[in-house]
Amino acid sequence: MDFTVTLKHHVARVETGLDRHLPAAGTRPARLHAAMRYSLQAGGKRLRPVLVLATAEVCGGMADAALPAAMAIECLHTYSLIHDDLPCMDNDDLRRGRPTVHRQFDEATALLAGDALLTHAFALLAENYPDKLAAALVRELADAAGSRRLIGGQMEDLLAEKKTDTTTEELEFIHLNKTAAMIEAALVMGGLIGGANEGSIAALRRAGRHLGLAFQIIDDILDATADTATLGKTAGKDAKAGKATFVRLHGLEKSRQLAEEHSTAALTALASLPGDAGFLKALVESMSRRVS
Ligand code: GRG
């Protein structure tokens, strides 16, 4: 099937799945559930859940079986965006083309909506998979989202804002953990659901790491070159906040070259999978050409 048609199909599955797998709108406490739905149902590229669905299929599973895990990773990702936007972190007004959750509701509601989405992610895994698979998925997601990876990357990122001498090694730690960890987890969780063997899981991990780095480098380039309307979030924010970015350390040209190298390495890792990774490869290529 054509890449764009398959992508639309997966994204539609994600949108329907989110509606089905979230606490129902209007149920108590309605304000909290409204805030969770407001942020989750604002769109976004849905990269991570689509990676879960497509990888499960490549590894021999059914995309439908992967849906709760896809929802879990999108809930977790969205929690991290809500908390990242809070005044105590990036203090941002715009996300996914809408006012951020603390602007639309209030700070306490945003904090709680993020907490609830984080917790809900693990409930989705525990409730929808047989024990052994559920344990493996919980371990993978907890590791990717924990203090050594997503939260650790965010901590180092905040600390780096106050420094002018961030090294390449420090920058790589930030991006490997703040960004690549969740992309890696999406691929590995899809692989676990599809029944991938150890070799394929290792290849998925490699692919996720490189795709994650390419994704972040492109994010840095877009922050420096695109406009707020196109991005659906505030452009030029990194330089203003004095953030450690690939563009700041390496300049635009070298950053573009590095993004290309990581995309190619992701494609090479995917090519070693036994199944037909055509859609996943096209997705990596489309991410390297993205404009938002
Ligand atoms: C608060 C624990 C905690 C972590 C925050 C997600 C995050 C870590 C920070 C947001 C800022 C940022 C540039 C993160 C890097 C990852 C990234 C590019 C997130 C945005 O992901 P997209 O572009 O967003 O896939 P959509 O809205 O399309 O889902």
Domain of 101, CATH number, reads 1.10.600.10
184 lines ligand 1 (CB under 6 A): no
CB 69 within 8 A of CB 137: yes
Pocket test of ligand 1: the residue of 47, 80, 89, 291 to mutate, having most ligand atoms within 8 Å of its CB, is 80
Peptide bond between residue 99 and the one before it cis (omega within 30 degrees of 0): no
Residue with tokens 């990702």: 77
Task: Indicate if ligand 1 lies below 6 Å from the C-beta of 78.
Answer: no
Per-residue model confidence (pLDDT) at position 164: 84
Q: How far apart are CA 144 and CA 146, in angstroms?
A: 6
Write out the DSSP string of 185-240: HHHHHHHHHHT--HHHHHHHHHHHHHHHHHHHHHHHHHHHHS-HHHHTS-TTHHHH
Q: Return mean pLDDT, the chain.
A: 95
Q: Is the pLDDT of residue 240 over 90?
A: no
User: CB-based contacts of 226: which residues, under 8 Å, 6+ apart?
Assistant: 235, 291, 292
Domain count, the chain: 1
> Could you tell me which of 139, 270, 259 has the C-alpha nearest to residue 204?
270
Average pLDDT of span 138-166: 94
Helix then strand then coil, in percent of the chain rounded to 5, is 75, 0, 25
Tens digits of per-residue pLDDT, 9-43?
999 999 999 999 999 999 999 999 999 999 999 98
Distance from the alpha carbon of residue 56 to the mean position of ligand 1, in angstroms = 23
Task: Ligand 1, residue 216: give the atom nearest the CA.
Answer: 18
Q: Is the CB of 178 under 6 A from ligand 1?
A: yes
Contact predicate 101/38, CB 8 Å: yes
Ligand 1 in contact with 81 (CB < 6 A)? yes
Q: N- to C-terminal Cα distance for the chain?
A: 25
Above pLDDT 90, what percent of the chain? 87
What angle is formed at CA 215 by the lines to CA 210 and CA 220, rounded to 5 degrees? 125
- C-alpha triplet 23, 29, 35: angle, nearest 5°: 65
Could you tell me the residue range of the domain that residue 152 belongs to? Answer: 3-288
Q: Ligand 1 pocket, 179 CB below 6 A? A: yes
